[in-house]
């Protein structure tokens, strides 16, 4: 398995925001979103065995684990083996994926954070919308909103696919593009039952890369 980094920090996004979390960031990504803040994961990385990776996670001493990237499902077999090992060891395992690759067949014990790319990301055309048929109630769907147009588009997708009934829905303001209070006002005006999802780690640590 090729990974970029392993680190422990505060979970900055999702409904788990604020909790200590160990992140396993895999190398490689098939998308190039305009707002990407982990471009170093495109190519940087090193090979590590499954046993060594699990040992490092154990050593971190945190019960919440997120597998992220890059795009982790580019290494789907290795990722499944890793998540099975960690779940068997009673960890809570999140996997954040960019929505372009199928989540079908992932173990029901894993919590999927599915990042649906909006038109403002520049990668909307790469989305596999069949993924929305495979969501579980504990899974989360994230929309990073870059503009009012993105907000309206995201709201339409939420309605069209009945996402409020099938999973947890998160709307995130694109950092430095849409102001959090602006997005909050739109959500409140529409009485939209979604979670405002801020990148908490950026407000806490004042930097984009946490190691």
The CATH number given to 2-198 is: 3.20.20.70
Strands (E) in the chain, as ranges, are 2-10, 20-26, 46-47, 64-68, 92-97, 111-116, 140-145, 168-173, 195-196
Q: pLDDT (tens digit, 9 = 90+) per residue, 25-50?
A: 999 999 999 998 888 888 889 999 99
170, 75, 41: which is closest to 116 by C-alpha? 170
How far, in Å, CA of 23 to CA of 75, rounded?
16
Q: Find all residues with CB under 8 Å of 166, minimum gap 6, and list them.
A: 132, 135, 137
Question: pLDDT by residue (tens digit) across 174-210?
Answer: 988 999 999 999 999 999 999 999 988 777 776 544 3
For residues 10 and 16, the answer to whether their CB atoms sit within 8 Å is no
pTM of the model: 0.92
The partner residues of 8 in beta bridges, in order of sequence, read 22
- 72-81, 137-146, 198-207: which range is least confident on average? 198-207
- Element of type H or E holding 157: helix 148-160
């Amino acid at each position: 398995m090729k990974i970029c980094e392993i680190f422990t920090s505060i979970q900055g996004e999702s409904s788990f925001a604020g909790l200590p979390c160990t992140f396993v960031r895999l190398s490689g990504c098939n998308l190039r979103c305009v707002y990407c803040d982990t471009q170093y994961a495109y190519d940087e990385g090193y090979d590590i065995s499954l046993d060594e990776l699990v040992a490092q996670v154990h050593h971190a001493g945190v019960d919440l684990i997120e597998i992220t990237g890059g795009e982790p499902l580019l290494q789907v077999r290795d990722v499944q083996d890793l998540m099975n090992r960690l779940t068997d060891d009673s960890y809570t395992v999140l996997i954040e994926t960019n929505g372009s690759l199928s989540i079908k067949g992932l173990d029901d014990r894993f919590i999927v954070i599915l990042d649906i790319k909006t038109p403002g990301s520049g990668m909307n055309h790469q989305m596999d919308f069949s993924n929305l048929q495979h969501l579980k109630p504990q899974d989360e769907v994230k929309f990073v909103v870059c503009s009012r147009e993105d907000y309206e588009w995201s709201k339409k997708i939420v309605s069209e696919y009945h996402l409020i009934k099938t999973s947890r829905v998160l709307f995130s303001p694109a950092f430095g593009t849409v102001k959090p209070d602006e997005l909050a006002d739109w959500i409140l005006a529409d009485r939209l039952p979604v979670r405002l999802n801020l990148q908490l780690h950026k407000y806490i640590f004042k930097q984009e890369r946490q190691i």
